Amino acid sequence: MADSLVITDHVRDGGGVEPPPPARSRRRGIGWAQRLEILLLSGPAVLIFLGFVVAPVLVAVYLGLYRWKGFGSPTNFVGLDNYVTILQDRAFWDALQHNGMILVLSLVFQGPIAVVLALLLNRKIRGRSVIRVLIFVPYVISEVIVGTAWALLLQTNGAVNDVLRSIGLGGLAQDWLANPKLAIWTLMLILTWKYIGFAVILFLAGMQNIPEELAEAAAVDGASYWQTQWRITLPLLGPTIRIWAFLSIIGSLQLFDLVYIIWGQYVSSTAGTSTMVTYMVNEGRNAGNYGYGNAVAVVLFVVSMTIALLYQRFVLRRDTEGALTGGR
């Protein structure tokens, strides 16, 4: 994706037939016919995006200032009260902390495992294409199904504990889901299982772009397989890894489905797996406090945006050169 976000000289010409005129003296602009084309082609996408993505975000900011039950027009203006309540609510800080933990652990768990798996699957072994499909299976299955299945597997009298007992490891049998010391680690295992395939596929795709000549040259120079991977493949995979990490971070901050399915409305906070979004859904929609829910959404938005911009500024910058700040 890195390359896609950088505009090359080739693209600066915009594919126009005439040679690009000098930058400043260009006042005639583009013809009306072209304007019409641009409008026709991009209009629908821009409109639906503004209507269903941008406008709702703005509305969230507005409604966050009201105490509002979700019907009629909001009249009970409470200013920043909702935000004060959020910041004073212990449950919100717990959720935020869980999100932070999930964010860090996802990167630490999934990154290295996915790199190793991608290296393994990048070798020409028999059955490689089958394995590639199979490793992606958990990613393709919906969160609801994954959650339902794992919740059954991990019950105290479920299959996992049963297998542990039958192989003589009954001592390891646990209350995987309800034990607050353990639940978040259980969640991390499920998350890793579910999303590792996506990282592997991304890394594999990135590896296809690394010229084979480099590895061949290294082999000629007597480098071992692992040396080649460590010194050549990994550094060249950098941009892909950084993009993956970005997507993973955003996903961690927005985590909802799995937690909500497995731990339900009430248990997630006591089991220590609540996230900002489960907090938002519980306190907003489920409690009928739509104004408050919107305020939580805004906080979530600000947290995500801040982290995304920091990541963009300090990590992604060399790959994407202003992709999110100007696009050129």
Partner 1 sequence: MAGRNDNSWGHPGIYAGALLLIGVMLGPVVYIIIGGFRTNAQITTDPAGLPDPWETVNYSGVLGGSSFWRQAGNSTIVAVVTTLAVVLLGVMASYVLARYRFRGRGAMYALFAAGLMFPVTVAITPVYILVKTLGIVNTLPGVILPQIAFALPTTIIILVPFLRAIPREIEEAAAIDRCSRLGFFWRIVLPLSVPGLVTTGILAFINSWNSYLLPLFILSDQESFTLPLGVQAFASEYSVDTAKVLAFTSLSMIPALAFFSLFERRIVGGLTGAVKG
The token duo for 167 is 């192989």
From 82-90, 104-112, 173-181, 317-325, span contacting partner 1 (CB under 8 A)? 317-325
The residue (of 180 and 227) whose beta carbon lies closer to partner 1 is: 227
From 88-96, 102-110, 115-123, 175-183, span contacting partner 1 (CB under 8 A)? 115-123
Q: Least separation, in Å, of the C-beta of 317 and partner 1?
A: 14
Find tokens 């353990």 and name the residue.
182
114 binds partner 1 per the rule CB under 8 A: no
Q: Least separation, in Å, of the C-beta of 262 and partner 1?
A: 11
The residue (of 180 and 209) whose beta carbon lies closer to partner 1 is: 209
From 35-43, 81-89, 92-100, 180-188, span contacting partner 1 (CB under 8 A)? 35-43
From 42-50, 75-83, 92-100, 168-176, span contacting partner 1 (CB under 8 A)? 42-50
The residue (of 35 and 181) whose beta carbon lies closer to partner 1 is: 35
The residue (of 180 and 210) whose beta carbon lies closer to partner 1 is: 210
DSSP 170: G
216 binds partner 1 per the rule CB under 8 A: yes
The residue (of 133 and 180) whose beta carbon lies closer to partner 1 is: 133
Q: How many Cβ atoms from other residues are within 10 Å of residue 46's Cβ?
A: 12
The residue (of 49 and 266) whose beta carbon lies closer to partner 1 is: 49
162 binds partner 1 per the rule CB under 8 A: yes
Query: Among residues 127, 168, 171, 222, which is the contact residue for partner 1, using CB under 8 A?
Result: 127
DSSP 52: I
Sign of the dihedral defined by the CA atoms of residues 256, 261, 265, 268, in that order:
negative
111 binds partner 1 per the rule CB under 8 A: no
Q: How many Cβ atoms from other residues are within 10 Å of residue 232's Cβ?
A: 17
Query: Among residues 166, 171, 221, 314, which is the contact residue for partner 1, using CB under 8 A?
Result: 166
Q: Which residues contact 126 (CB under 8 A, 6 or more apart)?
A: none
Residue type, 26: R
Query: Among residues 82, 228, 268, 274, which is the contact residue for partner 1, using CB under 8 A?
Result: 228
Q: Which residues contact 207 (CB under 8 A, 6 or more apart)?
A: 118, 119, 122, 233, 237
The residue (of 84 and 144) whose beta carbon lies closer to partner 1 is: 144
Residue 277 and residue 298 in contact, taking contact as beta carbons nearer than 8 Å: no
Residue type, 170: G
Q: Where in 76-95 is the site for partner 1 (CB under 8 A)?
A: none
| Residues recorded for the chain | 328
172 binds partner 1 per the rule CB under 8 A: no
From 81-89, 90-98, 120-128, 178-186, span contacting partner 1 (CB under 8 A)? 120-128
Q: Which residues contact 293 (CB under 8 A, 6 or more apart)?
A: 280, 281, 283, 284, 285
DSSP 70: S
Query: Among residues 91, 104, 140, 169, which is the contact residue for partner 1, using CB under 8 A?
Result: 140
Q: Where in 243-262 is the site for partner 1 (CB under 8 A)?
A: 243, 250, 254, 256-257, 261
DSSP lists the bridge partners of residue 77 as 66
The residue (of 181 and 328) whose beta carbon lies closer to partner 1 is: 328
Alpha helices in the chain (DSSP H): 9-12, 32-49, 55-63, 81-88, 90-121, 128-140, 143-153, 159-166, 183-207, 212-220, 225-228, 234-253, 257-271, 276-280, 290-311, 317-320
Report the alpha-carbon distance of residue 291 to residue 262 in Å, rounded. Answer: 27
